[in-house]
Amino acid sequence: MTTATNPSRRNLIASTAAVATGTLALGMHGAAAGASSQSPKMTSDTVTMKDGTRIYFKDWGSGPVVTFSHGWPLNADAWDGQMHFLARNGFRVIAHDRRGHGRSTQSSSKNDMNGYADDLAEVFNALDLKNVSMIGHSTGGGEVARYIGRHGSKRVAKAVLIGAVPPIMVKSASNPEGLPIEVFDGIRAGVAGDRSQYYKDLAVAFYGASRSGAKVSQGVLDQFWLWSMQTGQKNAYECVKAFSETDFTEDLKKFDIPTLIMHGEDDQIVPVHDSAKKSAKLIKGAREIYYPGAPHGLTATMQDKVNADLLAFLRS
């Protein structure tokens, strides 16, 4: 059975569709024009970089600004224990997912320290952050160092490096105490292979769970695996070179703000004597706190102690 359609109604539908199509096209053209004239673009929880990469961030609380740069291969959620604590104590806390990690775009390029630092600079600009206390853990500590080395400290009030990778991790003629390149080749092989099992195994060393007397919950180990699996395989693979082979020596020499170095003395991922101890000699006036028996993931295993020390430094 067919139903007759009123000719005038057909004309109205056709006209409406044409107007809608024209409006949509105009809107798309306007959006494209806006994208080319405004950089970076910002939504409530992302900033779009010049190459189109979207960097996710979370922004809690109010007061003096503290930013957080996470370790490999995690994301901003790894900082929740510190962010929630500081937000309750009068600070505005902001953490982002590095490109390729977490909720940010799994970009095919710029998965290196210069790219990470430039992304952070665009986030700072988009949010108009000033007098920032920058905190970085592990790879995130390298990101903080490269940001200051590349973009200066105009927007920075203080810096904190926790279990951080600078000055440089890989062994060389100029860094004989470093880790052999074969160690990092093994990490790349793990990421390129059965990365799910690799991340489960890595979590044990990350939090020192295999040490006698260690008290690390299954939940802590599971969350490490979850965050790691949210990172793009290509991004995680390329980041290994970034955190292991980048030389931050000259970046550290440019630090001209109060800086705190925090490191676990039983760090199985970033050995303390080839990282924190050397960085402290390169940063003028750096303060140092070392935690006996503490692992790489001390922000989780010693959350209360780390939080108290951070608060004291930020308020000093």
Distance CA 244, CA 107 (A): 20
Is residue 97 among the annotated active site residues? no
Beta bridge partners of 227: none
Closest listed residue to residue 170, CA positions, set 268, 270, 254, 251: 270
Catalytic residue, chosen from 133, 138, 244, 275, is: 138
Catalytic residue, chosen from 80, 267, 274, 309, is: 267
Contact 133, 64 (CB under 8 A): yes
Instruction: Give the CA angle between residues 51, 57, 58 to the nearest 5°.
Output: 165
Is residue 267 among the annotated active site residues? yes
Distance CA 124, CA 128 (A): 6
Catalytic residue, chosen from 119, 244, 296, 309, is: 296
> Distances from the Cα of 289 to the Cαs of 161, 213, 309, in angstroms?
10, 22, 9
Is residue 275 among the annotated active site residues? no
Beta strands in the chain (DSSP E): 41-42, 46-48, 54-60, 65-69, 92-96, 132-137, 156-162, 259-264, 287-291
Active site residues per annotation = 138, 267, 296
